A and B are shown apart, each in its own frame.
Chain A
């Protein structure tokens, strides 16, 4: 019996190591490919153990770095502003819904919930945002449509407020003369950091990774996020030449294009890989919270 259980533990370790390796290996290929000499890539393809090491791709990108820096700036701005506004309006909606005294609470709850069941679809939202709000080719196109708020997160927050903040605490604050806003700010929010951090984290990841909004609403490269830039480069490697170099035909010869592609992807993914050890705990906790019904 003891042996069997130990065997199972070993088996589990082996399977998990294999699975973990499968999750990491593609990233290693990405990194080694970006550091391989262009001629070697042409001859023998991307490989895990390149014979000729070269940083040409990164020097190339560094020389033409202004577009990348700009795209980074856009992504960072969108992530911070989008997360901040999103979490704020979600808190402001979820908190009253958690209070039993709020008039029409059930109706409003249904209004929030119904958005999870029924969607108008892509084309109608596109028309609303372009024809009513004229959001095309502006920074708001990367922030507002779809991502700002999510009914499911509102429900998670509401449940958190309801289950962890004792109503007596709110009542006593209000007996002491605090208004609703003051109660929310000084009593409720300090007790709610776990849920705020979790939802804030998920929102930021969503904004950082979003490429769809840029593809739908942005045609001007000035507003490209890092994901859109990557997307564009994959579609058309020459885009770099046209936009980044004054002498396109000349640049095509010099450019280590196959490794540049991979180097761009490394630049796009590196911040997340580097930051991941610091927030993985909260990420996994967040998945677990989301798993339990909101």
Chain B
């Protein structure tokens, strides 16, 4: 009995010692991680706690620690205005549309790219269609301006006169055109990029499937329909679910830079991100914008969890966690 107890005691003692040794032995590995972890602490985790300021009356003069608590007032004000509805509607509608049509376009583009057997031309197309992804939104806003400017734009001065419309349209003050313009710009910038993602998956398909189908007399279109698409479907479903998880976030640059932050377009161009930004930069209400940010963080988090849950149901291996 006693012996067993001392043996057990000895063993735990050994374990503790072993653990200590392990810390000492691997301390260089632990020290290595310090800069990165400190950065995450300040850049990511501290702001997470900063969410508390949504429940305060923000006062820059007093500093946020000393600002007074006001409970859910900020949220109440936010959801009483029509802004909350507009920004939520815009963010979700744009995203749903971008995901649906974007997937189809990117997939079509990847399949076409895969049909091109000339290696050099294929590489050339690939690099040209991904070029827009490389350009900053500020430059994109200049490109759009060159096309859309009321006084000097290519649309008003050249394209519309072809159709006999001489007076031109002041694009930057008419909200009804922007859903179309923003969609076109979004796809111009992003379809090449996402088609490469699908193309990468296509490259992984074994040629033998196609050879076998060819022997059976399947046409190229039938091969695409019965081999390519089914093999790609897990990738498609996974990417779609992941973007559904990000449906509460928008491409800030697209919605802020491209319409040039024009107030007249708010109804069709404002998203949660631009709303939060405007609040912070002083052209909106800081309390409400903080509340909108928290609303985005929390709903966004729940959506990511939900999307991941769905991926897990569908295919455990592809789940993020």
Contacts and interface: CB of A to CB of B under 8 A. Distances in A.
Interface stretch (B5-13, B91-99, B154-162, B263-271): B154-162
Interface residues of A, number: 101
Q: Which range contains the number of B residues in contact with the other chain?
A: 35 or more
Nearest to B279: A123
Contact of B50 (A111, A124, A179): A124
Contacts of B157: 44-47
Contact of B42 (A46, A47, A128): A128
A216 interface: yes
Interface of A: 1, 4-5, 8-9, 11-13, 15-16, 19-20, 22-24, 26-27, 29-30, 33, 41-42, 44-48, 89-90, 92-93, 95-97, 99, 101-103, 108, 111-113, 115, 117-128, 131-133, 144-146, 148-149, 151, 154, 179-181, 184, 205, 208-212, 215-216, 227, 230-231, 234-235, 258, 261-262, 265, 268-269, 272, 276-277, 280-281, 283-284, 287-288, 290-293
In order of increasing CB-CB distance, the 7 nearest A-B pairs are A45-B157, A124-B50, A120-B47, A93-B36, A121-B293, A209-B136, A124-B47
Given A23-B192, A265-B139, A284-B127, A9 B116 contact: yes
B313 interface: no
B321 to A, nearest CB: 7
B279 A125 contact: no
Contacts of A154: 36
B146 A33 contact: yes
Given A29-B154, A45-B152, A272-B135, A15 B29 contact: no
Contacts of A258: 152
B121 interface: yes
A26 to B, nearest CB: 4
A interface, over-half SS: helix
Contacts of B147: 26, 29, 46
B286 interface: yes
